[in-house]
Amino acid sequence: MAVRTIEVREKVMAMNNELAAVVRQRLAEAGVVAFNLVSSPGSGKTTLLERTLDELGEELGIAVVTGDVQTQNDADRLARRTTRLVQAVVTGGACHLDARQVLSALDAIDLQRTRLLFVENVGNLVCPASWDLGEEAKIVLFSVTEGEDKPLKYPKMFREARYAVLNKMDLLPHVPFDLDSAVAAARSVNPDLTFFFTSALHGEGLTTWFDFLRSRIRQTAPV
């Protein structure tokens, strides 16, 4: 029984990787850069996207796919910030998005008008780490209220990510959170991580974040 379970999982992952390759190809043909935002619940993914849509939504042609276990609250929040389509995926219990869901979401998005695609994954620091969605990179958020040991407790997520956003910096004076230890913990599992330090709520650090997004778009032209 145990062996059969493993085989099924391997087949599912192989199928996902094939579909992720299709997503990646479609995005490359359209010259769209895609980032997969991952974090534990409540780290500030939607808040960061709200601010990003306000500042860059039109300039960078941003489209968003949101994943939630239940409700389309995040999609509704983000749709208030843009005239572009925000595609909601309700996973109905699954703790992550998969490439098939992103592929069908792409059918609804006008890729010719899109240069930057954000996928807001389900809030979970474990499951989304294993699923390639066809993104250019995973961006992991964690906030100063979560404890500086999170990268050590959930190493796969930090290993899979290329960028890390340390959010809720405005709360740093109010919580016992050692910033240097947090960064060292993340770098110990992934020395190549590039960091952003933000308060998505109040705006601290967002200029650097916006400049990074602008520069990523400038480097990408359709293949």
Ligand X SMILES: Nc1nc2c(ncn2[C@@H]2O[C@H](COP(=O)(O)OP(=O)(O)OP(=O)(O)O)[C@@H](O)[C@H]2O)c(=O)[nH]1
Q: Give yes or no for residue 167 binding ligand X (CB under 6 A).
A: yes
Q: Note whether 46 and 78 are within 8 A (CB).
A: yes
For the bound state, the minimum distance from the C-beta of residue 188 to Mg ion, rounded and expressed in Å, comes to 28
CB 151 to ligand X: min, Å? 17
Binding to Mg ion (CB under 5 A) within 67-96 occurs at 74
Residue whose C-alpha is closest to residue 121's, from 148, 92, 91, 100: 91
43 binds ligand X (CB under 6 A): yes
CA–CA separation, 37 and 184 (whole Å): 21
CA angle 58, 63, 67 (to 5 degrees): 145
Does residue 33 contact residue 214 with C-beta atoms inside 8 Å?
A: no
- Measured from the CB atom, the residue of 30 and 55 that comes closer to ligand X is 55
Q: Residue 201 CB: number of other CB atoms within 10 A?
A: 16
DSSP-assigned beta bridge partners for residue 65: 87, 119
**Rounded distance, CA 94 to CA 91, Å?**
5
Q: Which of 45, 51, 81, 84 binds Mg ion (CB under 5 A)?
A: 45
Residue 87 touches which member of ligand X, Mg ion, none, C-beta under 5-8 Å by kind: none
Segment contacting ligand X by CB under 6 A, of 42-50, 78-86, 105-113, 215-223: 42-50
Size of the site for Mg ion (CB under 5 A): 3
43 interacts with, out of ligand X, Mg ion, none, CB within 5 to 8 A per kind: ligand X
DSSP-based helix, strand, coil % in the chain, nearest 5: 45, 20, 35
Stretch that binds ligand X, among 83-91, 95-103, 153-161, 198-206 (CB under 6 A): 198-206
Which residue's C-beta sits nearest to Mg ion? 46
Strand runs labelled E in the chain: 33-38, 62-68, 86-90, 116-120, 137-143, 161-167, 194-197
201, interface contact from Mg ion, ligand X, none, CB < 5-8 Å by kind: ligand X
- Residues in 118-177 at the binding interface with Mg ion, rule: CB under 5 A: none
Residue of minimal Cβ distance to ligand X: 123
Window 97-156: residues binding ligand X (CB under 6 A): 123
Q: Does residue 36 bind ligand X (CB under 6 A)?
A: no
Strand (E) or helix (H) holding 13: helix 2-30
Residues at the site binding ligand X, with contacts judged by CB under 6 A: 39, 41-47, 74, 123, 167-168, 170-171, 199-201
